[in-house]
Amino acid sequence: MHAELFAVFEGGRKFDAQVVAGLEAGLARQIQQTIGRLEKSRSPESPVLPAQSAEAAAGLLGMPQSRGISTNDYHVCRRPGEVTIVRFLQGEQVETFYERAQAHIDAALGVFREEERHTHQWKQDPQMLAYLEALDAIKMPMAERYLRQPIRQHQLFVLSTQAADEMNIAYLTDYIMGIAPAELVGPAAAPPDQPNEQDLAWFFKLFFLRGMHDGEEAICFFTYLQKSDDTF
């Protein structure tokens, strides 16, 4: 989750992505409804979408061309206490995303290995040394996790999700995106200068649709955020 969050939301810090407010509400609702239907069409055992969902998935991935939406940027639609974010990647942008996801997971694994080695290696316990050796051998190729080869070879469409009941909005905006919370959620919903935990808590769900469009890889990230309290 750490690696994916950073790879999805670091675009403003790393690749000149802009937060573009004013995504038309009807279009945001259309995208959300399409994503919802695609999610319901999946088997619980697999993120691969069934053949009957291919047309809808392809239409969604083609929206940068059909609806004139810029790729790379974060297109935001705000409602009281709710925010939806749509981001499209195509071509080389997709390659960059996978490279960044791999770099983040490799870095996180490296830190974890070093912490475990520092904590346990001095004991010279055979079982623990075997554990550390096995930990060093672990590889997490993100291309395999995201089914890149089957997508390209078999023209599949794949939809993954991740959710958090309480996402710290400042962690997402300040730490990952490098922006103030108000720039993403709007001044009315932004936490105060000295926030408590409830001020920072937002329900978070990320949908990650990937497939082929016009012969090249394409991605649509759809994020739904809802303020966890009931002040709106």
The Cα–Cα gap between 204 and 196 comes to 18
Give Cα separations from 152 to 46, 193, 217, 218 (angstroms): 17, 47, 7, 10
Q: Which two tokens stand for residue 1?
A: 């989750």
The Cα–Cα gap between 22 and 188 comes to 15
Instruction: Please state the pTM of the whole predicted model.
Output: 0.91
Check residue 229 and give its pLDDT.
74
Give residue limits of the domains in the chain: 2-227
| Nearest one of 168, 173, 174 to 202, comparing CA atoms | 168
Query: Could you tell me what percent of the chain has a pLDDT over 70?
Result: 99
pLDDT digits (tens, 9 = 90+) for 193-212: 999 999 999 999 999 999 99
Q: Which amino acid makes up residue 31?
A: I
- The band of 123, judged by pLDDT with boundaries at 50, 70 and 90, is confident
Please give the backbone phi and psi of residue 186, each rounded to the nearest 5 degrees, phi first. 90, 150
The Cα–Cα gap between 56 and 59 comes to 5
The Cα–Cα gap between 196 and 87 comes to 30
Residue 173 near residue 181, CB atoms below 8 Å: yes
pLDDT digits (tens, 9 = 90+) for 9-38: 999 999 999 999 999 999 999 999 999 999
- The band of 231, judged by pLDDT with boundaries at 50, 70 and 90, is low
